[in-house]
Amino acid sequence: MAASGSNAEQPAKRRKKQQPANAITIGGRTISLEAYLDPAPKRAQTTTTPAEPAPATEKPEDAAPTETRKKPTTTESRPEKHGRRGGPAPARNTEDAGLLKSRKALPIWQHRSEIQAALRKPGNNVVVLVGETGSGKSTQVPQFLYQESWCRRQTVKPPASQEEVAVGGTIAITQPRRVAATTLAHRVSREAGTPLGKGRPDGLVGYSVRFDHQVPRGTKIKFLTEGTLLQELLRDPHLRQYSAIIVDEIHERSLDVDLLVGFLKQILTGDLHGRGGVPLKVIIMSATADVDVIRGFFKDLPAKDEEDKDTDHVQVLRIKGRQYPVEVVHEPRPVPDIQDALLKRIFKIHLEEPLPGDILAFLTGQEEIESAQKLIEEYATTTASNVPKIKVCPLYGQLSMEGQREAFLPVKAAFTRKIVLATNIAETSVTVPGVRYVVDCGKAKVKKYRPRLGMESLLASVISKSSALQRTGRAGREGPGKCFRLYTDSTFETFQDSDLPEILRNDVLGAVLGMKARGIQDVLAFPLMDTPGTESIEKALLHLHYLGALTDDGSITPAGEKMARFPIPAPFGAVILAAARPEFDCVMEAIDIISCITSGDDIFLQLQSEEAQEEVGALRKEIQRREGDIMTYLTTMQRYTAENADRIGWCKQRRINMRNMRQALNIRRQLRAMSLKEKLISEAPPQDPQPFTPVDPERADVILKCFMRGFAMKTAMLAPDGSYVTIQGKHVVAIHPASVLHGQKKEAIMFLEHVFTNKNYAKKVSAIRANWIVEAMESRY
């Protein structure tokens, strides 16, 4: 690319004297094609940092996409041909050259040869890459590797197979969040010269996340969420499509990433017969990974030969980030009121620190953010004219897409400072531009599953040192900054080094079902970096047995295999399977409800002010059902799909999350297609829009009875004192204020979520009859 860049400039300088033969003129600019027709001149090597070991890997990224686009199935000779054949679109190569300058400025570019060399040596199949925030590892590492000789697609014949199969040719890179996977895929596709979208049928880069897939023909780099790659393992336990798996952000230790590295270790320690002997490379990347834990996990990989037996099979590379210095300021003594201290600190920064420099403040939740926003906006009206104006932007998961976008846009008004009030979603997954000052409250809401109680808690807890460092780093992304911690230096020293892995604090129901579906009989013996408690696994096995996913001896049933194929929680999978039975026959309705529930946070935006409640309340009453939240979700989806004029306006009037409704439609379409494939429905349903017809009370009862097949354990009876007591565990629960049944008394209730915040709440609640609980239990046992 360096060669093409330099040659592209020279003809422009010589144009008055002579027009080169191998050049074309577009829009008044002459672009040389010599770099694509002849070997790159030696002097071009001086523009590259550092010097690379071989010209074949030096000529890179701009010519490579074109070759792949032309011949996506060619494998053996592709790397040698890159940059030597004519025909790339000049406009695209100009775009590549423009992006190359910023790519070369990334700290990781200097380690390109080192990373490539680490994976070239036979037997070096695991590399741990510790790259500081801002080093460029997520976007650049896959681009460094996809042209390597070991990354070619190969046709092999596995020992137990009569047919030849293709193995490798693609690099997968996993992300903990779908937003990160799609955003990075779009960025890397532009850098590689084949931007996603724009009707392009082929390209180098694609992505695959739950219910959203864009994988062009000839894809060599594929971004996925960890859960999506686990789904692919169901269809292909050997991951034959891939030459390498890059596991990014492993320090977040999500439940899915722990499962994924367990399956990757099984492939690496196996005989590779399923891959025809072709090895799989695994690259583990993180900003703050515990290298010793990862090295210990992979230490028992098989040796290639006797000499190799004592070799450390896990290579560790460390890369400095592009972090500006950040001054950390601790409180001299513990603060009695964090919210009050946070506001005072924001006001002090605003008055004393110069512009430019926006403020990012970390709070624990939506309620705290909205309260702080109101107080800051009131304060802004009292400031003197020589003090900068204030624009407050909230940032949390439940916020609408338009609201979230505000936090990332620069302030248009002059002499104005932006103050972003965020939850911990701004800690790692997104970077808010313009921030020079961070205020860290030192806490975050953490979800924890309690197997003994069968419920989740969502409580504000002290963060870890790793999280505190991530928050501090947000102030140094664009220039020198300051981080103000609302806790003392000695308090920071008491923090845990890292957050507790999800597998130790979340319900492992889905993980156990995933293991069973992939043929793991003894789940306790499955290789995990951290093994969950025996009680958690036993509870999950019992629950799966109740759902009909496991037999009495713990083997997976055909129904369990179907549940595992559905990319939704197991109880919802059980509901869809039950809905196909003749006594229920409500697959379409079940899919509509489940699509709304699994689309993200609640589709109904919270109404904080009394004015908003009065304004929106009347319109929401049209979609609310006396049977409860499940039927309200169904009515909402049916009314939304029947709306043919202005769906955006319809959502805005009712304060419904438009982004989640679009996602719900996407989920609905794919669940319908899967149900058709699994023969749960006999024919494809008619296209939207369909006229809205309210569900009658008898039909509503049938739908709720169907949901009991997945959620009979989450039911409660009305006690004489007016409280609700759960059937399992005998806990007192209250109906959550967001439920349409809040404040009402019913004979019995079914709830889809059981969460402890400041109170023991039942969420997504529906009214049922007591005898339905008995019927649901008897139908299973």
**Cα atoms in the 13 Å half-sphere on the side-chain side of 142:** 31
**b or e along 598-631 (b: 16 or more beta carbons within 10 Å of the residue's beta carbon)?**
bbbebbbbebeeeeeeeebeeebeebbbebbbbb
> Rounded to whole angstroms, how far apart are CA atoms 19 and 28?
13
pLDDT value, residue 311: 58
Provide the β-strand partners of residue 483: 328, 438
**Cα atoms in the 13 Å half-sphere on the side-chain side of 688:** 18
Cβ atoms of residues 755 and 449 within 8 Å: no
For 272-290, how does the pLDDT look when each residue is reduced to its tens digit (9 = 90+)? 888 888 899 999 998 777 7
Backbone dihedral angles phi then psi of residue 438, each to the nearest 5 degrees: -120, 135
**Cα atoms in the 13 Å half-sphere on the side-chain side of 474:** 30
pLDDT value, residue 725: 94
Record the tokens describing residue 597, joined without a space: 């529930």
pLDDT value, residue 498: 83
Query: Which domains, ranges and CATH numbers included, belong to the chain?
Result: 97-319 (3.40.50.300), 326-503 (3.40.50.300), 566-778 (no CATH)
For the chain, give me the number of helices (H) and strands (E)?
Answer: 28, 25
Name the pTM for this structure: 0.75
Write the DSSP symbol of residue 151: G
H-type helices in 45-153, by residue range? 55-58, 63-70, 78-81, 90-104, 112-120, 137-145
Please identify every stretch of the chain with a pLDDT value under 50, giving residue numbers as ranges.
Answer: 1-22, 24-27, 31-95
Q: What are the CB-based long-range contacts (under 8 Å, 24+) for 269-276? A: 269/300, 269/301, 269/302, 273/158, 273/159, 273/160, 274/158, 274/237, 274/238, 274/240, 275/156, 275/158, 275/167, 275/238, 275/239, 275/240, 276/154, 276/156, 276/157, 276/158, 276/165, 276/167
Backbone dihedral angles phi then psi of residue 41, each to the nearest 5 degrees: -60, 150
Count of CB atoms situated within 10 Å of the CB of 757: 15
pLDDT value, residue 617: 79
Backbone dihedral angles phi then psi of residue 319, each to the nearest 5 degrees: -130, 130
pLDDT value, residue 641: 92
Cβ atoms of residues 126 and 301 within 8 Å: yes
Q: Omega into 394 within 30° of 0, i.e. cis?
A: no
> Rounded to whole angstroms, how far apart are CA atoms 389 and 407?
16
Cβ atoms of residues 623 and 639 within 8 Å: yes
